[in-house]
Amino acid sequence: MTAKIITIFYLISLLASLWMVSRYQIRLDNEQRLKKMLVVLFSGYLLAVTFIYVDTLRWEGPILFLSMVSFCPFVWLLIGILRRYGYKGDLGILILTVTLNSLGLVVLYRLDISSGWFLTRAVGYQGIIPMALKQLLYSMIALLGVVIGISRGYFKAVIEKIAERKDILIWGFIAFALLVLPKLFGFSAWLTQDKSLQPSEFAFKIIFLVFVSKYYESRSSEILLKHYPIKEVIKLVLFVFSGIVIFFFLPLVILQKELGTGLLIGLSFIILTAYVTNRFSFFMVGLVLIALAIYVGTQLSGHVEKRVIAAWLDWREYAFKPFREGEKLYPGYQIFTALAAIRMSPWGVGIGNGILKHTTMDKTIVPKAVHDFIAIPIAAEIGIMAIIIIGTGYFILLDKAMQKNRSLTFKNILAAGIATAFMTQGLYNLSSVIALLPATGIPLPWISYGGSAVFANYILIGLLSAILDDRENSRREE
Amino acid sequence: MFLGIFGVWFLLILAAFFKYALTYDPFFGTTKNVVYRHQTRGEIKDRNGEVLAYGTSPRIYPIGSAGSPIIGVANPVIGSEGYLEQKYAELMISNRKSKLWYLLTQSDDGYPLKTTLDKNLQLAAYRSMSGNKGAIVIMKLNGEVIASVSTPSYDPNKMTKKYYSELTKSPDRPLFNRAFDGRYEPGSVWKTVIAMTLLEKNSKGRTIICNGSFRVGNKEIKCIRPHGLVKDMIEAFTLSCNVWFMKNALAELDDKTLRISFRRFMSREMKEELGPEDIALSAIGQGEVLVSPMELATLAATIGNKGMQPVPHVINENSAPSKVIEEKTAKKISDMMTMVVKRGTARGLSDYFRKGYFVAAKTGTAEKDNSKGKVNTAVLIGLAGRSTNKPEIAFSVVIEEAQGYGGTVCVPVMKEILDYYFFRGKR
């Protein structure tokens, strides 16, 4: 019962912070509102973390607990840095992401899973480190970077620099190099062993969006013409599409075996194209093309893709049956355990009450529950309300990033692109954990464990808030 | 447009979440569901509301090994075993009514499972088996199973990983539910079905002379003793004369008729094309005929229920019986089975007539050669009731590796159970 009441309070705190972010502009000069906002955010987080420390972990790991608690003073410190540099923009997006990030930290802390770490291994320590601590450090470093970046105007400068450059193909080459070069030098897709640093994250998220935005900006005069012939629009889209296939899709899927990221690129691209050209038919055609590509891919390539499809469509059949007899692979098992975990109650069983970990092993019952299946522990314990809150968070971000009048400047398209990328990624992840779409290893933005994902996401947030500040300023000048 | 695309997508996700969280899906009841192993299960209750299993870890089974294979065992270490704990796990764990009430669900003990079993009769049936290997099924004529025993059994209260692995390796297969899944040659018990098939063809059978043995192909089948002149079916049935049934089956019944007739009471598919040898053997319930004790009890219930075949069940389900025999035929078979108790091989049960009760039965013995030499499977099916002419329950008893016949091994076992059923142990 206690767990449920605590969970309700935590949910209320999350909801309240989302509501404040969506309703008001959070600025440094409105001291009272900012304080209220932080109190709401911190109270829920501290309550949840303390409850987990006392009830679930039984007072074990005081250092980890203190580190988790230190996230609140750290955020307060960040506000101090922003104030020092006299930042005047809206803090809404940043606080929104911190809210989602803190939810991820709470779940990682509750799961209490540890693993080795490349940083500690480098200094000779072979033991394991709690994943919550690692994620906390990643988040803190990324947040610090973003805060310094936006308060000192680095992100703005970067955006201006990119906006000034007229050449487009250079971005394609950079992405290509980022994806292909590590392979040539013998690195795999993952730079580190614990799969926390992944170059494709950066290549996909940042460079891909810049590439597409720059291209559409250069052709905006044509696209915006009302009576521009559809044939020409299709030509435009096909041109950028072939660029994406060559620079991003092929190296990702063939060299890095990143089927999921390839799929995300495709989805983000068709949604963004539909937005830019204001033609819904492009979205539908794009969906059909993606389905075709998946079909052709499974027909052509080996068992990896087939296994992914089997785990999606026939998870009941393959839940306990090896996919191929030679190597033991149970492609439907992850989905089976995930669905079994959420079947207890749609409202969740309360923080700490769920059965998420094996009693004997340092492993979650749902395989990879800290990575791309993190929505399952959240749904199982905090309930479907938490899933709704996460989705709403992405929607608020989308709402803030969109420009009311559609002027296709580079900045506007990039802002829309960033919001689309988050939205697509988040919804794709939530769909894959309940067998709506194939699970291809796509993390939930800000919530899943993963270093490079956190860095890439926060860099995008820095760019986005720089664009929004710029927009705000120009509106004020008018 | 953005909001439209993403909004529809998000609503789909939420709908899928609710679908998987709320709908009943027996697939999740599997013993391999690690999440369910730790969940609170509801109590299992018998027909009078007495508890057969309660609690979660440890889960307590008050009647212990008496109810094992049918009730089963649920344990965080080994998962779940047995009929009820496995088949109805999904029902006992996820209670959809209280799932929607957020604050109430934590103290929720799961969904109580009300069964048709009778705790005391189950105990009596288990006790009566006293070390025999086999199975007993007792059901009401509407298909409600009130006791089902399979021995050797195991103690669900002692379940540990080591004990479980011993059970899985044991040659006696205690985890196997003989009453539901065992397949036995019913022997002479199957003559009820043959007699039924003959009567349905409006044939009373010919008079034959039994000289004690009959040769089919290269096999010689013997009667218990030479019966001499066997006039009609009633006499043959009461004496359980193998020769009469084999000769008449060969003369009057063909492959197709037998197949249609057997399909009503036997779920196993027989091999393609029965030769004369197979027909003769199946006439005395051997060879191709393999049935479970549950199917045998259903056969008895069908005879007692005026030809209406019930669907056997342990949990109350809405299932209508289907008519498989004419009422007239069922009555004739029932009368013949009464004769078996009065004058034939089940004379051990004849006491009950004097007390004004109804008992009808048919015994059977299937001989089998195996490594231990000749081993009998002793079988008994029958009907019983408190008034002179109306049956209430149907029963079947199967004892493997018996030292004797259906009439000498199964009848005492059933007598003990019927004593309990009629007098509640007060005699």
Q: Name which of A273, A434, A437, A444 to mutate to probe chain B: the one with the most chain B Cβ atoms within 10 A of its Cβ.
A: A434
pLDDT of residue A302: 63
Of A275, A341, A434, the CB nearest to B13: A434
Average pLDDT, chain A: 85
Residues in chain B closer than 8 A to A387 (CB atoms): 13-14, 17
Task: Say yes or no: A271 contacts chain B, CB-CB below 8 A.
Answer: yes
Give me the residue label for tokens 């049960």: B349
**Cα angle for residues A435, A264, A312 (degrees, 5° grid):** 20
Residue B97: what pLDDT? Answer: 52
Residue closest to B30 by CA, chosen among B71, B79, B96: B79
Residues of B in contact with A271 (CB under 8 A): 2, 5
Q: Which of B28, B100, B106 sits opposite A340 (nearest CB)?
A: B28
Say if residue B7's pLDDT is above 80: yes
A391–B20 C-beta distance less than 8 A:
no
pTM assigned to the model:
0.81
> B220 by DSSP, 3-state: which?
strand
In this model, does residue A193 exceed pLDDT 50? Answer: no
B311 touches A: beta carbon within 8 Å: no
From A274, A336, A388, residue closest to B1, measured CB to CB: A274
Return all residues near A406 (Cβ < 8 A) that are at least 6 apart: A278, A412
pLDDT classification of B298: cutoffs 50, 70, 90: very high
- Cβ-Cβ contacts under 8 Å, A365 against chain B: 34-35
In sequence order, what are the residues at sequence separation of 6 or more whose Cβ sits closer than 8 angstroms to the Cβ of residue A303?
Answer: A323, A324
A191 has a pLDDT exceeding 80: no
* A57 interfacial to chain B (CB closer than 8 Å): no
Q: Which residues of B touch A379 (CB under 8 A)?
A: 17
| Cis preceding linkage at B391, omega within 30 | no
Query: Could you tell me if B116 and B141 are in contact, meaning their C-beta atoms sit under 8 angstroms apart?
Result: no
Check CB contact under 8 Å for A420 and B2. yes
Q: Which of B2, B12, B103 sits opposite A275 (nearest CB)?
A: B2
The per-residue pLDDT for B427 is: 46
Question: Where are the alpha helices (H) located in A301-348, listed in sequence order?
Answer: 303-313, 315-318, 333-342
Q: Give the closest residue to A432 by CA, choosing from A418, A411, A448.
A: A448
Q: How far is B38 from chain A (nearest CA, A)?
A: 7
Distance, in angstroms, between A221 CA and closest chain B CA?
21
Of B5, B35, B94, the CB nearest to A355: B35
**Residue whose structure tokens are 């509640």:** B424
- Chain B residue with CA closest to A430: the answer is B13
B276-286 per-position pLDDT tens digit: 888 888 888 88
Give A342's contacts in chain B (Cβ within 8 Å): 17, 20-21
* Interchain contact, A340 vs B99, CB within 8 Å: no
Chain B residues touching A420 at Cβ < 8 A? 2
Contacts of A10 in chain B (CB under 8 A): none
Interface test with B, best of A2, A276, A318, A344 (most B CBs within 10 A): A344
Region of B134 please: left (phi>0), alpha (psi -120 to 50) or beta.
Answer: left
Chain A residues in contact with B102 by the CB 8 A cut-off are: 4, 8, 345, 347, 383
Say if the Cβ atoms of B13 and A427 lie within 8 Å. Answer: yes
Strand partners, B308: B323
Can you list the pairs that A186-193 forms with residues at least 24 positions away whose Cβ atoms lie under 8 Å?
Answer: A189/A256, A189/A257, A189/A258, A192/A118, A192/A451, A193/A116, A193/A118
- What residue in B sits closest to A282 (Cα-Cα)? B1
ipTM: 0.92
pLDDT in tens, A343-383: 877 888 888 887 788 777 788 888 888 888 999 999 988 98
pLDDT at A263 over 80: yes
Distances (CA, A) of A24 to A16, A386, A397, A473, B3: 12, 22, 13, 17, 20
| CA angle, residues B81, B299, B404, in degrees to nearest 5 | 80
The answer to whether the CB of A430 falls within 8 A of the CB of A375 is yes
Which range, of A354-358, B47-51, B313-317, B397-401, averages the lowest pLDDT?
A354-358
What is the mean pLDDT of the segment spanning B100-112?
A: 63
Pairing of β B208-210 and β B228-230: antiparallel
What are the φ and ψ backbone dihedral angles of A163, each rounded to 5 degrees?
A: -65, -30
How much is the pLDDT for A11? 94
pLDDT tens digits for range B373-397 = 778 899 999 999 988 888 999 999 9
Q: Among B1, B3, B6, B111, which would you mutate to test the A interface (most chain A Cβ atoms within 10 Å of its Cβ)?
A: B6
pLDDT of residue B74: 87
Residues of chain B numbered 229-268 and touching chain A (CB < 8 Å): none
| Record: contact B16-A434, CB cut-off 8 A | yes
B102 touches chain A (CB under 8 A): yes
* CA triple A297-A299-A305, angle to 5 deg: 55
Which residue in A5, A358, A434 is closest to B17 by CB distance? A434
Alpha helices in A24-123 (DSSP H): 31-51, 62-69, 71-84, 92-111, 118-122
| CA dihedral of residues A181, A267, A405, A147 (deg, nearest 10) | -50
| CB neighbour burial string for B62-85, b if at least 16 within 10 angstroms, e if fewer | ebbbbbbbbbbbbbbebbbbbbbb
* Per-residue pLDDT, A100: 94
- Summarize the confidence of residues A33-52 as an average pLDDT: 94
Q: What would the pLDDT profile of A13-38 be if each residue is shown by its tens digit?
A: 999 999 999 988 888 888 899 999 99
Report the pLDDT averaged over residues A271-290.
Answer: 86
**Contact criterion met (CB < 8 Å) for B27 and A345:** no
Query: Which is nearest to B271 in space by CA: B254, B286, B287?
Result: B287
Name the burial class of residue B386, with classes exposed (0-12), middle (13-18) and buried (19+) by CB atoms within 10 angstroms of its CB. Answer: middle
Which of A271, A339, A345 lies at the smallest CB-CB distance from B5?
A: A271
Between CA B427 and CA B424 the distance in angstroms is: 8
Tell me the pLDDT tens digit for each residue of A217-227. 888 877 777 67
Q: What tokens appear for A341 in the block? A: 């975990």
**Minimal Cβ distance to B13: which of A283, A339, A431:** A431
- B9 in contact with A at a CB cutoff of 8 Å? yes
Residues paired with residue B148 on neighbouring β-strands, in sequence order = B137
Higher confidence at residue B266 or residue B93?
B266
A-B contacts (CB, under 8 Å): 117
Spell out the alpha helix ranges (H) of B184-319: 191-200, 233-239, 242-252, 255-263, 276-283, 293-304
Judging contacts by C-beta atoms under 8 Å, the chain A residues touching residue B107 are 1
**A255 or A408: which carries more pLDDT confidence?**
A408
A453 part of contact set with chain B, CB < 8 Å: no
Q: CB B38 to CB A398 under 8 A?
A: no
Put simply, the answer to whether B1 touches A275 (Cβ < 8 Å) is: yes
User: Is A76's pLDDT higher than 90?
Assistant: yes
Beta-carbon separation of B106 and A353 below 8 A:
yes
Q: Which site among A2, A284, A290, A345 would you substitute to test the B interface, given the most B Cβ atoms closer than 10 Å to its Cβ?
A: A345
The residues facing B75 across adjacent strands are B79
Please tell me the predicted confidence (pLDDT) of residue A173: 83
Q: B400: number of CA atoms within 13 Å, CB side?
A: 17
Tokens of A295: 């079909």
